[in-house]
Structures are given as structure tokens and as C-alpha cells.
Structure 1
Amino acid sequence: MGIATATGAARAAATPAGTPAATPAGAAAGTPADAAADASAAPRARTSTGTSTGTATPAPRTAPGLADPHCTVEGIDMRTALGSFCTGVALVTASGADGRPAGMAVQSFSSVSLDPPLICFCPAHTSSTWPRIRAAGRFAVNILGADQRDLCGQFAVTGSDKFAGVDWRPGANGAPLIAGVLATVECELADVLDGGDHAIALGRVTALTAHHDGEPLVYFRRSYGRVPH
């Protein structure tokens, strides 16, 4: 599905902007994540991929210290513990090389740096949507409001037309901007790091807009909805 999550490498780079980074366990814990919804596994690219404008997309670099043959942490334990970390939900969208829009739901979106302006999100290597977004070389992050739960579910289904009936327009970089979201962030793909069973995609922010002050859609302990009051 599309809700991948940030690794320790990304969390370590978190900015004072205060945006929390999620973890890969959150995605595996039953989120509407690209990792689960996109069942057809995409191979891990190790070479640069040309973008739609001819700009080379960076190849992933392995973060040091990730592989530990002596690690005894079980995946189910990580899912249970890290599922307690509440995150927002967003749709990452791009215009594919074939001209068709591509998109996936993620919970791993995080601010990384103010200067330069950088963000990150973490798609699973098993995602069939991520290779299309990566090849495009530019994308948009659409931060969902609490009333867009059904839209999130629509983007978490593999093999369907995720944009059917969705009101959107192309942004300055060509990526789809979804109507009614809390905010949109347009980016160029700056780098891709290897994060175990996920990639860590760094985006250089080129434009962003906060549209309204509604409540966010959140994910917490294997379900998503409104912030409890």
C-alpha cells in the first residue's frame, strides 16, 4: 500500500520545523501503505534512472550500520511498539513518463531541513508505484485532511485507477495537486538512500502552499481517522 515510514537515518536529520518522522514498522502495521497494497515487488534500483526531463535521478546509497546479523528484534514487536507513534497521512503524486498520474498513500512524510528546504518520505521496495514516481524525478506531497479518509483508501488499492473521480490539477512541476487537502508540497527528487526494506527519498522543495486549517487525517495503532479530543 503506500504508507511507508521513515527510518532512524531520516529521523536523525529531523529539522526544528517539528515534523515527526514515522518508522517502517508503522507501515507494516496495517496502514493503507504502498508496501502492502502494491503487491508486485519492484526491484531495488542501483543505477541512475533518467527523469522525464532528462535529469539523472540519484541512485540509492546504503546507510551505514543498517545490516546487523545479530539483531534479535522481531518485526511484529516493532509493528506493535512503533504503531503507537501517531502520524499524519499524505498522498505522494507524480506525472508518469507515459503522461498518466501516479500516486500512493504514505505516513512517512517528514520535514528534514529548512536550509536548504528538504523533506523525505519512505516508500517500500515492494511498491509498484514508487518506481514511476522515482523515474519522474519530481513529485508533490498532498497532506490529507480528516474528511479525506476514503481518498486515502482509494490510493491504497493496487491495480485500480487511483485518480478516478479525484479532483486535481497539475502543479508547477507537473505533479498532481489534490483538491481539498490541507497543504501541498512540490519537490524535485534530490537523493535516494537505502533504508532496509524501504527507500528514503529526499525531496528538494520547490513550491508549497497551506490551503486551510482543517483537522488532519492521522494514523495510529493500525487505524486512521481524526485526532481524538
Structure 2
Amino acid sequence: MSNPLIEARGIGKTYRMGSGTVPVLSGIDLTIAPGDFLTICGASGSGKSTLLQILGGLQRPDSGELLWRGEATRGWSRARIAAWRGRQVGFVFQSYQLLPEFSAVENVDLPAVIRGEGDREASLALLRGFGLAERAEHRPNELSGGEQQRVALARALRNRPSLILADEPTGSLDRETGREILRYLTERVARPEFASSALVVVTHDPEIAALGARRVVVEGGKLRET
């Protein structure tokens, strides 16, 4: 394995539920290298989405540490985490999370706009690659579920992130559309410009889980590689 892109060491996470606590992750160790295609599977509520959010800096672990290219992130400020996430991480969610008042191309360009590097033509080129050139000016409520997810994929890849995290990206779609979405994603990430990026997909679907070059299972708060 090449030098790690991101490492989780002894990660633990517990949620408060009423007056008690519920442990979700315990002692998770995981190393992801550039070029990895990793799938994370497990039963509903097993903690796989929590693990993904910790890897992407959306949540902090209660114990253990996360290292980015060998550097511990524990002492990073919120501002630094946000800046790192905006540049290095691309998220794809089951619910798309597109801004309803923006057109498809505006949604795709948003990550670059936030960084002061907006480029409408670059975002249009991405949409063309996802077969959505003629839908660029449509708002999310004018798009099908599969089209919205393709817009979300294009947005996640807009800044050419080093770490692409997809949380049940086909969960809201029928099986045929879901397969099409995964094909778009994996074909795009296989291009030379993403050769040093890692793709991590959380899924409960065994067929999708089997697509990964590596597959891990979260169960009982622990991680098992298959």
C-alpha cells in the first residue's frame, strides 16, 4: 500500500439517547490509500454512516484519532477542518442535498464559488460528462431523482477532491437507476485526474458492496475487512 491518504486509529463514537448513551463505534482502525475504492457495508444503524462522517470531518470522534497524510487532525480548528473539507473532500448523499433555488450548473459550481474559484464553463463540462448538458439551467424540482443524483455527483467532483465519500448514493433510487449512478461515479473516478483520489461508498446493498476493490463491514461497533 502507498503512503496513506487518511487513517483512523482507535476511533470511538457514542451518542446520548435521553438519559443514557449508545456506543456506535469502538476501536475502529482503517487506512485508506490514494487510488483505493473501498465499500463500507453493515446493517441499518450499525454506524457505517457515522464512520463516513468522521472520515469527512462532519463529526469528531469521542476517542482515537484521524490522520490526514500522516498529520493528526485532533488539534485542527473548525475553520481549518472546513477549509480542508471544502478542498480535499467530496460528499455524495442519499438525499442529494441540492439547493432548490439554484440551477443544476449553479449547484455544481458552488464548491468552487465558495473558494473564490467559480467557473461556470468547468461546471457545464462536468454536467456534459454526466449526460446533463440540456438540464443545466433546470432547478432540482424539475429533475428526476437520478438526474438530481448525477448533479450531486458532479458537484462532489467539482474541486477534484482527494477523498470522495458517498453515503448510500443509490438508496433513494430504483435498482436500474442506482446501477447507472454507480457506473457514472466509478467511470468518472477512474479517469487520470482522479488517479490519486480515494473513493469510499457506504451501502447496505451487497451488489454495490462487491464493486469495491476493498470491502469492510461494520458490526457491533467494530470493523471487519472481507
TM-score, length basis structure 2: 0.25
Larger Rg: 2
Greater helix share, structure number: 2
